[in-house]
């Protein structure tokens, strides 16, 4: 009897611990890290100093879910801060009723330079999620005011009639090949900014052409386990980094942890985020805020 009672107590403790862990991971998935920060960019023209860019990634709006609750927090926060430009780095809509809600929320953002997006793997149906059903062309048409960029660039005049800005988007399937073969030329007097879903690696030729790159896809790992050397992402897809700001030669790469979750609405030591980056020219001695591997 004593042994049986001990087993029952142990089982009950394990269930309680699991329930508490699940409750915390559910809480963290909604604990959105909303912040504004300066971003030092190599070669940024003085006329673009102070340009504010809201970076949103990986909402994963499909069926109605807590991802949409997290997005609503982002939109409310960003509306009051009025960023100049909004970039969406893929996996924004997955189809279903949730996509319509996502689009209505995004339509509340009215940045003067516009909202630009690239398709991620979920927009192309490249996902193990059985609930997703959107295709990239459907998502592109439904987004309305949001412009999808597939290996193409849009020239914009900076704030207060400042220098030209070339916002370019790398298609998920081609990995931006069209931006390298001359089909989407960038004028010499425009500062190039790239948005892409999957972060480029250090040897990617895109980094030689774009001094500023925004990416997503990784979710920061979504579930990170503590170790003596810091937290470690359980899933990294062989990418060198899962989040943060990283310098490669003459380029700065910004990887977002994203807003939503996939499969289960859980995060651990990896809060969702949306950041308004205020650009400024890089100076000697600048120290980048590096993220985690």
pLDDT in tens, the chain (293 residues): 666 666 666 677 778 888 999 999 999 999 999 999 999 999 999 999 999 999 999 999 876 579 999 999 999 999 999 999 999 999 998 766 788 888 889 989 999 999 999 999 988 877 665 555 544 445 544 556 789 999 999 999 988 777 999 999 999 999 999 998 776 667 778 999 999 999 999 889 999 999 999 999 999 999 999 998 889 888 777 788 999 999 987 899 999 999 999 888 999 999 999 999 999 999 866 656 567 77
Task: Say which residues have a Cβ less than 8 Å from residue 207's Cβ, sequence separation at least 6.
Answer: 200, 213, 248, 249, 250, 251, 253
* pLDDT for the residue 237: 76
* pLDDT for the residue 134: 47
CA–CA gap between residue 69 and residue 119 (Å, rounded): 22
Q: What residue has token string 């470690």?
A: 232
CA–CA gap between residue 265 and residue 45 (Å, rounded): 41
Whether residue 108 contacts residue 71, with contact meaning beta carbons closer than 8 Å, is answered with no
- Whole-angstrom CA distances from 262 to 58, 143, 169, 245, 248 are 9, 21, 23, 23, 29
């Amino acid at each position: 009897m004593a042994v049986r009672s001990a087993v029952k107590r142990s089982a009950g403790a394990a269930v309680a611990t699991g329930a508490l862990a699940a409750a915390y991971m559910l809480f963290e998935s909604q604990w959105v890290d909303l912040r504004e920060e300066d971003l030092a960019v190599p070669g940024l023209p003085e006329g673009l100093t102070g340009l504010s860019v809201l970076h949103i990634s990986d909402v994963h709006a499909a069926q109605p879910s807590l991802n949409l609750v997290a997005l609503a927090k982002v939109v409310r926060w960003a509306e009051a801060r009025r960023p100049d430009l909004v970039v969406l780095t893929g996996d924004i809509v997955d189809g279903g009723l949730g996509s319509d809600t996502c689009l209505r929320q995004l339509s509340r953002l009215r940045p003067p330079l516009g909202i630009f997006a690239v398709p991620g793997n979920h927009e192309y149906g490249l996902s193990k999620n059985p609930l997703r059903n959107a295709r990239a062309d459907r998502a592109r048409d439904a987004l309305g005011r949001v412009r999808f960029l597939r290996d193409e660039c849009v020239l914009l005049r900076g704030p207060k009639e400042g220098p030209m800005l070339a916002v370019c988007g790398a298609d998920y399937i081609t990995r931006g090949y069209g931006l390298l073969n001359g089909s989407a030329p960038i004028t010499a007097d425009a500062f190039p900014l790239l948005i892409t879903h999957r972060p480029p690696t250090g040897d990617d030729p895109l980094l030689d052409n774009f001094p500023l790159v925004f990416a997503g896809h990784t979710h920061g790992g979504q579930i990170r386990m503590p170790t003596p050397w810091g937290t470690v992402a359980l899933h990294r897809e062989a990418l060198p980094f899962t989040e943060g700001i990283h310098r490669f030669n003459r380029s700065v790469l910004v990887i977002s942890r994203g807003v939503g979750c996939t499969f289960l609405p859980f995060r651990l030591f990896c809060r969702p985020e949306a950041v308004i980056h205020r650009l400024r020219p890089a100076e000697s001695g600048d120290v980048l805020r590096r993220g985690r591997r």
